[in-house]
Structure 1
């Protein structure tokens, strides 16, 4: 448990708004990036972050100090993302253009030493195909894949965030990779 986070959570519980603002500052960008990658929609991601912090604030007395604060807040935000994904109408087309990326797809930040217009075009097309494949995953696999490979959480951390046994997380990661491999075999 991060000592700073524990102290800020305790102060926030006592009504210290500056301490809560510090917690928001620590996690706002991280949660937004995670939510944006899961939802591929800037407005929905912003809504999730705002709702997550509102829930954290309202439920600070329920925070279990034996858990990492990051695990608790990621669990809240991840569950909100899953709820939004479940409420969406399913879209199964892998050929459809993504409509709400506003020029940001998360993969555009991959560093490269020797970029040429040709390599940029190939890279952006590859990134688009990968992003579409990830977006086509069912929510239970998409969530695990995003937390594992985009947010770089360990299997144990994902288990804590999603409140699911590690063995289930391992299975979902394996099945998610298989699903992506099959989708990408035909595209790349």
Structure 2
């Protein structure tokens, strides 16, 4: 079986080829940044944390044995970096509630009671994006990370379990709790109907 591009680049990077690691960054920087943004809700923090994740990955590259894909290993690192930041932020009681969701890999949509077209609908969509991001940021980090990976990044349950070093049952339990918390939040808002649909990167829709 032929090796993937990531595998070839990792082999070169382990031999000290800096350009190969730069190619790995190019391959994954969008997803790494996107995960960091979903978890922190702040563009500047996401950029800093993405950079920190790549630095950690480079310094730990010799320890990568290939038991999982490089992408899974890398995303586990960025999740850990972000969780460290979230815990630090929680101690300082800092939250970011003013960031709109910017869907790079998909879109967020909903069914609304008033189906009017034009500027009004556009404003409703912007407001929905703000409310979604605010609601995600209010989740405990252990629930937030699985929700982001499943609903916004489109990873399978098994991929999430592997990336976070959790068993499958724990992943499903945390995801169900996160979905329930978001559903309760949306239903408490007069502007929203209960049904919110995430169209994830892989084209799958999930109804809360």
TM range (shorter): 0.7 to 0.9
Shift of 1:125: 1.5
Q: Deviations over 1:114-148 (max 9, x none)?
A: 95101011111222222211111111001110011
What is the aligned length? 180
Partner of 2:163: 161
Of 124, 129, 132, which residue of structure 1 is paired with 2:131? 129
Shift of 1:175: 0.6
Distance of 1:124 and 1:81 partners within structure 2: 26
Higher strand share: 2
Partner of 1:48: 49
Distance of 1:183 and 1:34 partners within structure 2: 22
Q: Which runs of 5+ in 2 are unaligned?
A: 110-115, 193-208
Equivalent residues of 1:74, 1:161 under 8 A apart = yes
Q: Which runs of 5+ in 1 are unaligned?
A: none
Shift of 1:90: 3.7
Distance of 2:94 and 2:68 partners within structure 1: 36
The CA RMSD measured in Å over matched residues stands at 2.2
Shift of 1:111: 8.1
Q: Deviations over 1:16-48 (max 9, x none)?
A: 111111101101111011111111111211111
Distance of 1:84 and 1:63 partners within structure 2: 23
Q: Normalization by structure 1: what TM-score?
A: 0.88
Distance of 1:2 and 1:176 partners within structure 2: 37
Q: Normalization by structure 2: what TM-score?
A: 0.80
